A and B are shown apart, each in its own frame.
Chain A
Amino acid sequence: MHRARERRNVSKGDYNVSKDNDGASTYPHRLNFYDRPPMSDVTVEEFETSALDRLRVLTEIESSAARNRTWDETKRVIDSLCKKHLPLGPNPPNLKDEQWIRDTERRKDHLSHFVLRLAFCRSEDLRRRFVKAETTLFRIRYETDLVDDRYQFLDSRQLDRTVASEEEKKEYKEDLISLHFSGPEDNTTKELWFKAARFYKVRWTRVPDLVERRSILLKGGWAYVPENAQASIIYDEFETRLVKALEVTNRALPRLDEDTRLLPILENLSKGFVAGVSSEVYDPSNQSNGDIKAEMVDELARQHFPLCMRTLHENLRRDSHLKHFGRLNYGLFLKVLGLSIEEAVVFWRKAFNKMTDDKFNKEHKYNIRHSYGLEGKRANYPAKSCVQLLTCAPSEPGCPYRQYSPENLSSALLQYYSGQGLTSADLPEILGTVKGGHCHVACTRVFEITHGKRVKRGEGMGEGESVTHPNQYAAKSIEMS
């Protein structure tokens, strides 16, 4: 889809600013409803970098929701992040030079939006999250827009709304005044205000947020929206259009399958969104003292976790869920690793991404806080040790070296640790140790192999000690990196 359009429009050599024939800018407004895909040539690199920059912003928007930031906080954080990665300035007063900068910015905004559309249209879940994040971004921009720019933008849109007639206004005068007038109790002021006030009439389904708060008048399914609340109409319009557009893109996507340049990029982008591309760069020097952030867990798991915890992590990512004992074991492990309670709530909230906020708060938040000793009997629970994991019931997620069949164990080891130097040549030895019933020895051997540069065979956790606790394994591994 993209490619076809890109080819049709040949305007080589001038892809920084795209202009219509009459020389006017393609992007007269800061805000964009993204009705039309970008029509100019794009390099593959630009295609990817612009999308990654936008993805950073969207991921942070999701994080903000998971961290329960207030709207003002979110706005501040996102605004500063946007300035860094995805700047988008207001219309310059008159300067032709600045117009050029604006157009570059807006072009990037435009392009990155459409690239991410391609990446996120494939599943219902991705679509929903993308729409939510994009709508939030649009809201933030709308609220930070200059008033003049905003009106110009509104005027340029053919929003499907009618102005309530004088007769209607008169009929519902009392209700409208009682709902929206907030001045002194003085009849002349009231009358003047009412005479000047303008109300837009739209179906109530387009302004559900206003309906929910009972802050507008509803008559026969029509909502009478005062001028200052019309942002709700815009947001809804934006959201509805995006939802529809994503579904259309999803249906058109198979035609893109032949393009081997773009698919891997798109694949990568959507993965990044699922895992939450860390907007903060992971720095191994500043953790283990409670400084681990929710976004860093993926990276840590890949490099430093023993098989039991690694398995739980991968299962959590695969299913967006873990069963009770899985949550318990993994949660306590992360706690001891140094994930603070705030970060733990963020981590689990984002991990259970198919769950509604309601369900999460009701069913899981308490348990997470409980495991941190903040609820119930307020005990400081320790993480499970190897002994506990080795002796737990087979139905619970315990030590994989003990619980897995040799075939499953082999494939799990290769899948998770081949990147760190484990080869199939090492397997017979490990499996042999497991067969002899020495699971912790097998686990220690895996540690030695995966840290082969610094640990000699037989050295184990230091001075030949074996693994006795998953946290010991992880801490040692982090320490050595």
Chain B
Amino acid sequence: MEIDDVDPTSPEVMLTFYRRLYPFKSIFHWLNQDANPTRRFTQREFAFTLPGDIYLRYQSFNSAEDLKKQVCQLNPSRFEIGPVYSARPRDKKTLRPGVLVPIQRELVFDIDMTDYDPVRTCCSGAGICKRCWGFIAAAVHVLDGAIRDNFGYQNLLWVYSGRRGIHLWISDSEALSLTDDHRKALVEFVSMNLGGETGNKRLNIRSKNVPPSIRHAADMLNQKFPDLVLADQECFDGENGSETLLSMLPPDIVSSLRKDWTANPYKSSEDKWEDLKLKAKADKSSVLLRALQDIVLLYTYPRIDAEVSKHRNHLLKAPFCVHPKTGRVCVPVNPDQVEEFDPDTVPTVGQLLKELDAIPKDENSPYEHHADWEKTSLKPYVDLLNQHALRLMEQTKGAKREDDLSW
């Protein structure tokens, strides 16, 4: 794809995007979980980022049209979604202090590639490529599985964050109502302290009793590890790689391995790992085996930004916003196909506007701005959100019916 000649930050581009492409209706259905506006939408906080570093909080709207009107008027570079409050957030100034408190909020997770800088070799900082996306894919598999299996939540929406990360929104009714304490407990359950860049890389799970949830994750990651870390990222190639690997091993076997690997400087990561596996088989105490398991987890276990998930009032960028640096749209991702997902093929706002220009104008239709996304490459992604929202709305209907019966 050629370089975009459209500046994604220009107000005209964003305005056209909001007016003709942004799927407000789908977002409404997804948040509201019902066809008619409920407090899940009307008492929901939206926050706008306007040009010049202006941040507008406590906005709320009666309907999808209302939201669209305001977005087109203010033309924010992006907007974020917050919790459902006990009253309308926009009435904040007129309410008694303490009355406006968050009561519901999707359980959200944020995984960002920057947290993987200590272990990835292909890019660093803001960069991302198809290769390091493998880490995200592994994280999505583990987290998606862990949430469904351990916590039983079904309504998970994964959204590409526009540059180098991925967000997860969980909309099950129990998840919506979790308190901050619950959220903290859940995050502690699914996350592991993997240390920072310079931090101590030794994991502390070498005890015999690994909790079942971690063990299931480890089983899954053991299969991904060779391809991702050894063959693709080549984390342990060369002298530096050798030293990194040796520093994580039990001290008694380090010196013999170092001699061997220094003698063969071109030994690949895979071969080194094979050496270790052989040694582990011979070792009866299984200390080495557990050390290897730690290394697998250290490199591939999801690195979650825990603070985002712990508080109900944390704001998170809305799906389908445009990332101001890359111009890419934050599109939903199907977790079953996350491996095939390529951040470089996600439509950019410039590309979408070109597609719009290419549509032959229908002179007879006065409503040119309705659901134009259907005619662009945004369609499959909006469809994904619509299906998700439809499922939620049906569940709401089912729940209502049950309530009726109970009378």
Within 63-113 of A, Cβ neighbours of B (below 8 Å) are at none
Q: Of B151, B188, B189, B212, which contacts A175 at CB under 8 A?
A: B212
Residues of A within 8 A of B151 (CB): 204, 218, 220-221
The distance from the CB of A304 to the nearest CB of chain B, in whole angstroms, is: 34
Residues of B within 8 A of A205 (CB): 174, 178, 182
> Which of A5-13, A209-217, A331-339, A438-446 participates in binding chain B?
A209-217
Q: Of B101, B152, B189, B210, which contacts A212 at CB under 8 A?
A: B189
Q: How far does the alpha carbon of A399 sit from the alpha carbon of B245 in the complex, in Å?
A: 62
Cβ-closest chain B residue relative to A356? B180
Q: Cβ of B188 and Cβ of A212 under 8 Å apart?
A: yes
Residues of A within 8 A of B340 (CB): none
Residues of B within 8 A of A411 (CB): none
Q: Cβ of B209 and Cβ of A179 under 8 Å apart?
A: yes
Is A124 part of the binding interface, using a Cβ–Cβ cutoff of 8 Å?
yes
Given A178-B212, A179-B212, A217-B212, verify A208-B150 contact (CB < 8 Å).
no
Cβ-closest chain A residue relative to B188? A212
Cβ-closest chain A residue relative to B101? A124
Within 156-193 of B, Cβ neighbours of A (below 8 Å) are at 174, 178, 181-182, 184-186, 188-189
Q: How far does the alpha carbon of A217 sit from the alpha carbon of B209 in the complex, in Å?
A: 13
Residues of A within 8 A of B178 (CB): 205
Cβ-closest chain A residue relative to B211? A214
Is A222 part of the binding interface, using a Cβ–Cβ cutoff of 8 Å?
yes
Is B153 part of the binding interface, using a Cβ–Cβ cutoff of 8 Å?
yes
The distance from the CB of A320 to the nearest CB of chain B, in whole angstroms, is: 13
The distance from the CB of B185 to the nearest CB of chain A, in whole angstroms, is: 4
Is A219 part of the binding interface, using a Cβ–Cβ cutoff of 8 Å?
yes
**Of residues A179, A215, A220, A222, which shows the largest number of chain B Cβ atoms within 10 Å of its Cβ?**
A220
Q: Cβ of B209 and Cβ of A211 under 8 Å apart?
A: no
Residues of A within 8 A of B209 (CB): 178-179
Cβ-closest chain B residue relative to A206? B182
Cβ-closest chain A residue relative to B153? A221
Residues of A within 8 A of B149 (CB): 219-220
Is B98 part of the binding interface, using a Cβ–Cβ cutoff of 8 Å?
yes
The distance from the CB of A359 to the nearest CB of chain B, in whole angstroms, is: 12
Chain B window 370-391, contacts with chain A (Cβ cutoff 8 Å), 1 for yes, 0 for no: 0000000000000000000000
Chain A window 179-214, contacts with chain B (Cβ cutoff 8 Å), 1 for yes, 0 for no: 100000000000000000000000111001101111
Interface residues contributed by chain A, number (CB under 8 Å):
21
Chain B window 188-219, contacts with chain A (Cβ cutoff 8 Å), 1 for yes, 0 for no: 11000000000000000000011111100000
Given A208-B185, A211-B185, A212-B184, verify A218-B174 contact (CB < 8 Å).
no
Q: Of A124, A218, A220, which contacts B189 at CB under 8 A?
A: A218
Residues of B within 8 A of A179 (CB): 209, 211-212
Cβ-closest chain B residue relative to A239? B181
Within 214-255 of A, Cβ neighbours of B (below 8 Å) are at 214-215, 217-222
Residues of A within 8 A of B98 (CB): 123-124
Cβ-closest chain A residue relative to B187? A212
Q: Cβ of A214 and Cβ of B152 under 8 Å apart?
A: no
Within 200-245 of B, Cβ neighbours of A (below 8 Å) are at 209-214
**Of residues B182, B188, B211, which shows the largest number of chain A Cβ atoms within 10 Å of its Cβ?**
B211
Q: How far does the alpha carbon of A158 sit from the alpha carbon of B330 in the complex, in Å?
A: 49
Chain A window 269-285, contacts with chain B (Cβ cutoff 8 Å), 1 for yes, 0 for no: 00000000000000000
Q: Cβ of A214 and Cβ of B214 under 8 Å apart?
A: yes
Residues of A within 8 A of B153 (CB): 221
Q: How far does the alpha carbon of A203 sit from the alpha carbon of B153 in the complex, in Å?
A: 12
Q: Cβ of B181 and Cβ of A218 under 8 Å apart?
A: no
Q: How far does the alpha carbon of A258 sit from the alpha carbon of B287 in the complex, in Å?
A: 72
Q: Cβ of B185 and Cβ of A209 under 8 Å apart?
A: yes
Q: How far does the alpha carbon of A204 sit from the alpha carbon of B181 in the complex, in Å?
A: 12
Q: How far does the alpha carbon of A67 sit from the alpha carbon of B178 in the complex, in Å?
A: 30
Q: How far does the alpha carbon of A245 sit from the alpha carbon of B347 in the complex, in Å?
A: 53
Q: Cβ of B189 and Cβ of A211 under 8 Å apart?
A: yes
Residues of A within 8 A of B214 (CB): 214
Q: How far does the alpha carbon of A179 sit from the alpha carbon of B210 in the complex, in Å?
A: 8
Q: Cβ of A214 and Cβ of B189 under 8 Å apart?
A: yes
Q: How far does the alpha carbon of A82 sit from the alpha carbon of B182 in the complex, in Å?
A: 31
Residues of B within 8 A of A124 (CB): 98, 101
Q: Of B101, B182, B210, which contacts A208 at CB under 8 A?
A: B182
Within 2-55 of A, Cβ neighbours of B (below 8 Å) are at none
Cβ-closest chain B residue relative to A209? B185
The distance from the CB of B219 to the nearest CB of chain A, in whole angstroms, is: 13
Residues of A within 8 A of B185 (CB): 208-209, 211-212
Q: Of B150, B182, B184, B188, which contacts A218 at CB under 8 A?
A: B150
Residues of B within 8 A of A214 (CB): 188-189, 211, 213-214
The distance from the CB of B106 to the nearest CB of chain A, in whole angstroms, is: 16
A-B pairs, 8 with minimum CB distance = A221-B152, A220-B152, A208-B185, A212-B185, A175-B212, A218-B150, A214-B211, A212-B188
Q: Which residues of B contact A (CB under 8 A)?
A: 98, 101, 149-153, 174, 178, 181-182, 184-186, 188-189, 209-214
Q: Which residues of A contact B (CB under 8 A)?
A: 123-124, 175, 178-179, 203-205, 208-209, 211-215, 217-222
Starting from the known contacts A208-B182, A217-B212, A220-B151, 13 additional A-B residue pairs (CB-CB under 8 Å) come to A123-B98, A124-B101, A178-B209, A179-B209, A203-B174, A211-B186, A211-B188, A214-B188, A218-B213, A219-B149, A219-B150, A220-B152, A221-B153
19 contacts between A and B (CB under 8 A): A124-B98, A178-B210, A179-B211, A179-B212, A203-B174, A211-B186, A211-B189, A212-B184, A214-B211, A217-B212, A218-B150, A218-B189, A218-B213, A219-B149, A219-B150, A220-B151, A221-B152, A221-B174, A222-B152
